[in-house]
Structure formats: structure tokens, C-alpha cells
Amino acid sequence: MSTPHNSAEKGDIAKVVLMPGDPLRAKVVAERYLENPVCFNEVRNMLGYTGTYKGKRISVMGSGMGMPSIGIYSYELYNFYEVETIIRIGSAGGISPDVHLRDIVLGQGACTDSNFAYQYGLPGTIAPIADFGLLRKAVEYCEQNGVRFHVGNLLSTDVFYNAFDYVKEWERMGVLATEMEAAALYLNAIHAKKKALGIMTCSDHLVTGGSLPAEERQNTFTEMMEIALAVAASEA
């Protein structure tokens, strides 16, 4: 049962999916961590793979950049392919002074400047939140393995090159970091009665101006991937 964006057939995709923005990062995760990975999608070069991790069947698929893109792919996974859990893994720009480069940020909630939730016709503003069970497992993994992490609100923004400086306002409201996908993922999960969590690595900081060089990004992203895989395996 292919879709306009996914050539997979029913059963090709596991119940638990890791979802980086970059499809090439999905390829890296599959080749580095999954046993016997099989590519189930190449439509629009949005690569997706299914294999096993520590005996558990897990998939990994790119989402593309921004809420419209992850909105399409996560919707199809939840509603057409019977996926139960999606864990977003990606980079984020630090906003809070407590968040440092290389830190892990677990998105308990996702503030947004997007109009993605308009489709639900709600008589107010919904707060997109992660699944608490997934969040608790990620926290426990970080505590047990000495990972420096933070739990709190992300900012999922539609605009990468913003015309004005919005960072101070979100910092004042306690937002930890900014990225571009989590709010749409959380909303799709809530609407489908499924599970979602965003696990981010702070790769640059919008206040201090610091950023990670390429080699350090690779090493830190490995830590993020391993947290997500541990949580995914517990759900598979």
C-alpha cells in the first residue's frame, strides 16, 4: 500500500521509527546500528530502512526539514503504516543559557510559531507535548549513562532566517532550544493517539554564538542516536 511519498508495502515498516531530518543520517543510523537493514523507501530520496537492533525490529526514515515535511511523513507512518512510536533525532539551536553545546535536549513540549494546528478547528491553543513514557525512558537512560541533558520546551519554528530577533522573548519564557519539526510530530501523534518524542543535540547556540565543528557534531550525534535506539528497543 504505497502512498504518494512512500513506496513501502504494509509490514515493511516497524512499529517504532527513528526520524532524523536528513535522509542521509537515516542511512548512517541504518548502516551503523541496524542488523540486516532493508531500504523500504527511496521516493524523493527520503530514505527509509528497517532492520533489527539488539533483536528488536526498528525502522529509521528521514523527515525532511520543517513542519510541513515531517507532518506528511509522520502522518503517513501513523495512519497508513500502523506505526505506533516515532522518535525524532536532530540538531537544535540553544536558547537557554543553561544549555551548552553537545548537550542533549529532550522535548517535553514544543512551542511554535506555526499554524499547523489550525486544521483541528480547536476553540483555543493546544500545547503539543511528547509521550511521557518515552520521555521517562530517555531521562532514565541519560541518568544511568552520565549524559548531560535537559528536559523542557522546544521552539518549533517555521522560519530559519528570521527577519527579527525573537530569541530573547522565547528565552524569557524558559524555552531551551529551537528546531523546526517537533510540534508537527507531536500534534500528529496526539491526533492519531500514538507516541512521539524529540531528542535533540545542541549543535549551536543562538545567544552565545558558539557552534560545533563537523567532527564533534558527528560524535555528539552518536550519543543522541544511542539514546533514541535504547528507547526504541524498549518499545519494539
219 has pLDDT over 70: no
- pLDDT above 80 (res 1): no
d(C-alpha 228, C-alpha 19), whole Å: 10
Q: Is 232 helix (H, G, I), strand (E, B) or coil?
A: helix
**Confidence band, pLDDT 50/70/90 cuts, at residue 80:** very high
User: Considering only 57-61, 125-129, 138-142, 221-225, which range has the smallest mean pLDDT?
Assistant: 221-225
Q: What pLDDT, in 10s, does the model give residues 100-124?
A: 999 999 999 999 999 999 999 999 9
Distances (CA, A) of 7 to 38, 181, 186: 13, 23, 24
Contact 86, 77 (CB under 8 A): yes
Worst-scoring range by mean pLDDT, 73-87, 161-175, 176-190?
A: 161-175
Mean pLDDT for the stretch of residues 197-221: 86
Q: Where does 16-235 sit in CATH, by number?
A: 3.40.50.1580
- State the pTM of this model: 0.97
pLDDT at residue 21, as a whole number: 95
Catalytic, 165? Answer no
Amino acid in position 3: T
User: What's 175's DSSP letter?
Assistant: -
Taking all residues of the chain, what is their mean pLDDT, rounded to a whole number?
A: 95
Confidence of residue 216 (pLDDT cuts 50, 70, 90): confident
Whole-number percent of the chain with pLDDT over 70: 98
pLDDT at position 218: 60
Q: Which of 103, 158, 165, 204 is catalytic?
A: 204
Contact 213, 159 (CB under 8 A): no
